[in-house]
Amino acid sequence: MQSATILVADDDAVARELLAEALRKEGYQVEAFASGEEVIARGREGRVDLVLTDIRMGAVDGLTVLRGVQAGESEYGGGGADGVRFAGRGD
């Protein structure tokens, strides 16, 4: 059985890698990205089961990432990834 493919997007390197590593330890196939543009491009390449994305990132925010991945998947006939948005403020 193939494990779920999860994309993690966060411009905070520490948060991104901690989340990605925790998911890998649970047996998931995880790809981590620092920018929304990278995630959208990856979403257009093939199957994605879940996108975990920070809301506030550089030029492309988390909501745009989710819309972009889902639109990209529908172009090649994918079912559309589920998405979870998260926000953390270190103020």
pLDDT digits (tens, 9 = 90+) for 23-32: 999 999 999 9
Both tokens of 20, joined, read 């990605």
Secondary structure (H, E, C), the chain: CCCCEEEEECCCHHHHHHHHHHHHHCCCEEEEECCHHHHHHHHCCCCCCEEEEECCCCCCCHHHHHHHHHHHHHHCCCCCCEEEEECCCCC
**Residue extents of the structural domains in the chain:** 5-76
Give the right CATH number for 5-76 from 3.40.50.300, 3.40.50.2300, 3.40.50.720, 3.40.250.10: 3.40.50.2300
Closest listed residue to residue 83, CA positions, set 25, 23, 43, 29 = 43
pLDDT digits (tens, 9 = 90+) for 6-21: 999 998 999 999 999 9
pTM, to two decimals? 0.77
